[in-house]
Structure 1
Amino acid sequence: MTSNKNTKNQEKWNEGLSDERLAVLMSPFKNREVNEVNYDSKMKFWKEAIIAESIRRHKCSYSASELKTWFVYQGRTPMCLLNVIEDMYRDGTIKSKTEFQQMQNQTQCSWSNWAVNTLVKNPLSWSVGKVKNSLVSSSKPFDDKTDYVNLQLVESQANELFSVLAVNEKSLIFFMDDIQKRLNDLWNDDISIQTTELIVHSLEICNKAYVEHGEHLIANKTLVKIAGFGKNVEPISDLEKNFFKLKEAEKILIGEISNLDKEKESLIKEAKMYVAKNMKPIALSYLRKKKEVERRIEKQLNSLDNIQAMVSRIEESKYNSEVLKSYGTGLSALKLSSKDTGLTIDNVDETMAELAEVLEEHRDIQSALGKHIIEDKHNENELEDELADLLNVDESICSSKEKHHVPDLPEVPDNSIENEEFDLDQRFQMLREH
């Protein structure tokens, strides 16, 4: 897969170029004074080609001899790459791998900040360093084997890695080879451990990663602590280191138990096969092996239970510690708030007492305003007697109306035409009968 990718990459750098132009580009540089335009154009082409190929291959470091393998055309390799490497080194695009690895942590992580600090804030030291580098470089020629690091590319790759690993504000610890696997998955490519270390070192320069070398469960393993999002990294504490070891031991035990379980199933199948062949002694030997595997599984499960219990208690203690810190923060904020507002128990009691006094005074005022201010000159008894007389008069009027009852009047005669015709018919009938 990698070889196919490289082939495609090699087809891109020379796309659209004629054979004559490629022959000029791959030839050695002539003296710049002869033709400055052609010299600068050729230099610009190779710088851009190297950067583009570096991005496609996810390679932040390279040597001149490695670059020759990137730009092969009809069996030929460029004869001018050392000049390009030297020019890129002089303009600050690249640094030697040794120089890059010696760079220490910086509070402001950016190569542009580095340039500002060097060119603006410390012009005198920059001038001395520049003269020194020019003297050294003139006396020390560049060679094909020295590795160089592209500063902007390694910073970009480090930022991309950090955006994947720093998912929240909590810091995380990894093995270096685990980060390498993450990069392989991220770019769908085979990233070397050397490239991984350079990318991590770029994060270390930015104070976003802390690297600790040593033996951790497996010999020659390197621990890398990645800072939480928006935070700077702190050294790995003993608690974090031991907790990480427990988590790794848990993973190892789970893997071993899974393998033992597969081995147990395989032994059962073998025993059944020999039983079917009527070879019971051999079948019994496989069953004995199965019993031994089961005992080993039981031991590993007990160890796993113990480790998981310790992990759970450590996580619980971390949680309790965070809760206690939150309580302390809240208490401090509450005290500060009370201090700023001047809120005390004495002030509250005094205010409530004044409030009760004011409310009592208000009730007295309301009661005073509700009293009758006009004196009533009439006798209440006389008013009651007058009211009784009025009631008696009403009752006498009602009784007199009942005594003089008007009788019912006769019905009003009906003088309608239909009744008259009916009356005439009756009279006519009576005449006929007589």
Structure 2
Amino acid sequence: MSGGSASVSDLTAEWDDDERMDFMFSDFKSNRDVNPMDWDSKMDFWAALVVRSCRRRRTACCSLRELGDTFRRKDRSPLGLPTVLQDMSSGGKLQRESDFAADAGWLSWGVGLLLVRPLRWTISSVLGSNGVPPEETFVVVELVKEKAAEVLAAYHSSQWATSPVVTFSQLADLCKDVCADQSTLGVALLQLQREKKVAVSLHDGMKIVKFCRALQERVSPLSDVDLGVLQLQRSERLLEERLQALGEKAEGLKEEARVLLRQGKKTQALRSLRSRKQVEKRVDNLSNQLESIRGILDRIDQSTTDKTVMQAYQAGVAALKLSLKDVTLESAENLVDQIQELCDTQDDVNQTISSLGAADEDKAELEEELESLLKEAEPDALAHFPEVPTGGLRPSVPLQLEEDLSRLTLRDSGTSDKKTTTPQLLQDN
């Protein structure tokens, strides 16, 4: 199994099934109606595999020859790939690169990736043949939109985000991990141009890309200010490279003077130091120029930001004026008075409604309070009564006298007269 086949096997579990792949690698029937289920199954398999393969390779472009090499298995290429590409094109999943560029209005400037042939030649070459030309490049529409979003995100997270204008070579270097080739970057920029997120143009043979700023809904046309900023940026990079080279040269002369001095060649060492001083002066001059350029770029960026903020303020003031068009201070005061009056009326109504059950509530509350007072007064009401005796009850006076008399009678002998007398005394009493 070839290297390409090994990589494709990660995209579909059916790739190692020889019997299944024999069916998939066979050509399509000329008439779908003969067996529509098998025809659709094979078409869905290859269409999905084309998209997955391009996505993994970080490209949005493909050709019949490239797909044939990618899907080669046991020295065989799928016979139905031309039919797959034609079906995907008719379904809007694929689009010829030249047609995609024409729809985006980018045929006027090539980027070295779209070898912009006359559109008539492209169409006639396709229509004049029964199949798909092996070198014809197709764009996977789904992946183009994905790559466009990734390119925009890469730009906004880069050091170039402070400047809306970059060269195509700078952008290609920035997006090397996003787009596998310049063709994919080109169609991604075409998609962004359709979405009004970038403007692409040629200036003095240099391809320039202008991005939409964060607070803007659409990109503005390339202006003289943008070109001036681009020129300043190029000068800044040139000075940085020159300064780095001069710094390395100065260090080299210093080391050379040290070596000559060790060798006893004092005159030559002094000459090296003198040259080093001259290089350092040039470094100082170039450093001042670099700081001036950076200051200008900062001012331009600040002015652009201020302009955007002022435009936002103006839009806000206009909207505020429009919203307050029919509002006056007098009408606001009258409205507040009416609201206060309605609130007072509502309070009065609520108070009247709540007074209906006030009497019953007061009566119940008073009864509860009275009951609590009675519970508190019960211990005090019993305080003036005598204590309850703990022993037995004392007998009454007549009973006590009778008991005393009985004891006297029992002690005396011949008490018959007393017995008869005692009742008489009691009777007399």
Are residues 1:26 and 2:51 paired? no
> Following superposition of structure 1 onto structure 2, how do residues 7-406 of structure 1 map, counting pairs within 5 Å?
9-13=7-11, 15-16=13-14, 17-32=16-31, 35-104=35-104, 137=127, 141-166=131-156, 172-185=164-177, 187=178, 191-215=180-204, 220-228=206-214, 231-280=217-266, 282-284=268-270, 286-318=272-304, 321=307, 340-342=326-328
How many residue pairs align between the two structures?
310
Distance verdict in 2 for CA 1:163–1:150, change over 3 Å? same
- One-letter identity of the residue aligned with 1:143: P
Deviation at 1:279, TM superposition (A): 4.1
RMSD in angstroms over aligned alpha carbons? Answer: 3.8
Give the drift of 1:304.
Answer: 1.1
User: 1:71 and 1:288, CA in 2 relative to 1: closer, same or farther beyond 3 A?
Assistant: farther
1:74–1:197 CA distance, 2 compared to 1 (3 A):
same
SS of residue in 2 equivalent to 1:59: coil
Deviation string 1:232-260 (CA, Å, 9 cap, x unpaired) is 11112211221232233223322321232
Q: Distance in 2 between matches of 1:159 and 1:196?
A: 11
CA distance in 2, matches of 1:220, 1:319: 27
1:386 is matched with which residue?
A: none
Distance apart, 1:165 and its partner CA = 3.6
Separation (CA, whole Å) in 1 of partners of 2:323 and 2:36: 72
Kindly provide the amino acid, as one letter, of the partner of residue 201 in structure 1.
L
1:199, distance to aligned residue in structure 2 (A): 0.4
Structure 2 counterpart of 1:398: none
CA distance in 2, matches of 1:235, 1:260: 39
Deviations 1:75-94 (A, max 9, x none): 33333322211121122211
Give the counterpart letter for 1:82 in structure 2.
P
Quick one: structure 1 residues 332 and 97, their matched pair in 2 at CA, closer, same or farther if it must change by over 3 Å? Answer: closer
TM norm structure 2: 0.61
Q: Which amino acid aligns with 1:205?
A: R
TM-score when normalising by structure 1 = 0.61
In the alignment, the residues of structure 2 paired with residue 226 and residue 36 of structure 1 have an alpha-carbon distance, to the nearest angstrom, of: 48
**Match for 1:275: what amino acid?**
L
- CA drift of 1:191 comes to 2.1
Deviations 1:212-233 (A, max 9, x none): 1223xxx534333234366111
Query: What are the superposed Cα offsets for residues 124-176 of structure 1, whole Å, 9 maximum, x if unpaired?
Result: xxxxxxxxx99x74766421010000112101221233344457x99822222
- Looking at structure 2, the residues matched to 80 and 333 of structure 1 have their Cα atoms a distance apart, in angstroms, of 60
User: Does the Cα contact within 8 Å between 1:54 and 1:60 map onto a contact in 2?
Assistant: yes
User: Cα distance 1:171–1:104, how it changes in 2: closer, same or farther (>3 A)?
Assistant: farther
CA–CA separation in structure 1 for the residues paired with 2:151 and 2:23: 39
CA distance in 1, matches of 2:70, 2:207: 32
CA distance in 2, matches of 1:320, 1:13: 51
Tell me the SS of whatever aligns to 1:157: helix
Counterpart secondary structure, 1:12: coil
Q: Distance in 1 between matches of 2:323 and 2:45?
A: 65
Q: Deviations over 1:164-196 (max 9, x none)?
A: 4457x99822222333333334x4xx6212211
Tell me if the contact between 2:57 and 2:180 (Cα under 8 Å) persists in the aligned partners: no
Alpha-carbon separation, structure 1, partners of 2:220 and 2:235: 24
What is the letter of the counterpart of residue 174 of structure 1? V
1:342–1:24 Cα change, 3 Å = closer
Partner SS for 2:180: coil
- Residues 221, 279 of structure 1: alpha-carbon distance in 2 compared, 3 angstrom cutoff: farther
User: Secondary structure of 1:102's partner?
Assistant: helix
Partner of 2:117: none
The amino acid of 2:188's aligned partner reads: I
Q: Tell me how far apart the structure 2 counterparts of residues 331 and 21 of structure 1 sit (CA, whole Å).
A: 68
Unaligned runs of 5+ in 1: 106-132, 348-434
Q: Distance in 1 between matches of 2:256 and 2:5?
A: 49
